[in-house]
Each structure stands twice: as structure tokens, then as C-alpha cells.
Amino acid sequence: MDEQDFRAAARDLSRLDHLDVPELEVVYKLERTSGFFYFQLADSLRNEEAAELLRRNGRGEWGHASRMQQALTIKLGCPYEPSADLEGGYPLGPPPPVDAALLAAIARGERAGDADYQRWAGTEPDPNVARLLRINGREDSQHADRVARVSALLDADM
């Protein structure tokens, strides 16, 4: 799995039916990065209502990372503390322009994330880990709904 590239890591994970400890660590790092990304996008907007929706998604992504930390604790049988590298996420460049195409792509990614989490939960032998995965998935669909609201708000501004 490519540890340096967000998109490659997400693509590689989407091909898996089950997550072990190394993959859960990558999910943790992806979720941290997604949180940073949402905050970056929010900071680039002038519409405060839309920006707050994106910030809510960012906080949600960090909540997903926290659940993955809990899942890792369960799997390892001892408290799991992520490394600074995992905590810092993948490198982000400058934020892209927030437009309809970007928001549609983000919404698709969130819905795909829900499907991935549900698939992983379906093969997870530990019911506590499976529950954490399912929660993250459901919240990904809520994030997609928020992104659609952001798109509508920004369209109304034009």
C-alpha cells in the first residue's frame, strides 16, 4: 500500500474485503487527512454557513480516526497510540477551488466510503470493531449529504 499518497492509499483500501492492523492504521491516517482537507476547504470559502458544514465534516472525519484508534486498541489488546506520522495525515497541497465538480467528487467519495466501511464490517470477526466500522460508514453518507447542502448554498450565492 502506498504510504505517501492519499488517493493511492484510499484506492488500495477500497479493493480490500477485510482490514487488519496495518490497514486500520492507513484508514486512521486517511481519516485524519480528510479532516484537515475539510478544514482547508472551509477556510477558503466566504459563505460561512457552507464553511461550517465543511468544518462539521472535518470534525466528523477526526471522529472516524478516533474510532479507528479504538478498533486498533481492540485488535491489539492494549491501548493504541498513533505515531506522529499517522496523526499528521498525508501531505496536502493548497486547497483546490471549491466548485460543483469538486463537491460532487467529494460526495461520491463519501458514499463510496460508506460502502467500503459496510463491506469491511461484514467480514470483521470482532463485533465491537464491526460496530465502529458501521458507524463510520453511516456518517460518511451524512457527510455526503452535507456536501450536497454546501453545493446548494454555493450555487445560491452565484
Task: Kindly state the cell numbers that stand for 124.
Answer: 470483521
Regarding pTM above 0.85, the answer is: yes
From 35, 92, 41, 91, select the one nearest 66 (Cα to Cα).
Answer: 35
**Could you give the dihedral angle defined by the CA atoms of residues 153, 98, 3 and 76, in that order, rounded to the nearest 10 degrees?**
-10
Asked whether residue 64 carries a pLDDT value surpassing 50, the answer given is yes
Between CA 132 and CA 95, with CA 114 as vertex, the angle to 5 degrees is: 105
Task: Kindly state the cell numbers that stand for 126.
Answer: 470482532
Q: 66-70, 93-97, 130-134: which has the minimum mean pLDDT?
A: 93-97
- Determine the length of the chain: 158
Q: Over the chain, what is the mean pLDDT?
A: 95
Range 4-9 contact pairs with CB under 8 angstroms and sequence separation of 24 or more: 4/90, 4/91, 5/90, 6/30, 6/33, 6/90, 9/90
Neighbour count for residue 135 (Cβ, 10 Å): 15
CA distance 93 to 151: 22
Average pLDDT over residues 89-112: 94
Q: Which residues are CB-contacts of 91 (< 8 A; sequence separation ≥ 6)?
A: 4
Asked whether residue 2 carries a pLDDT value surpassing 50, the answer given is no
Asked whether residue 57 carries a pLDDT value surpassing 50, the answer given is yes
Asked whether residue 139 carries a pLDDT value surpassing 90, the answer given is yes
**H-type alpha helices, 77-126:** 84-88, 100-123
Q: Which CATH number fits domain 6-157: 1.20.1260.10, 3.90.79.10, 3.20.20.100, 3.40.50.1100?
A: 1.20.1260.10
Q: Which residues are CB-contacts of 113 (< 8 A; sequence separation ≥ 6)?
A: 136, 137, 140
- Mind listing the pLDDT tens digit for each residue in 105-132? 999 999 999 999 999 999 999 999 999 9
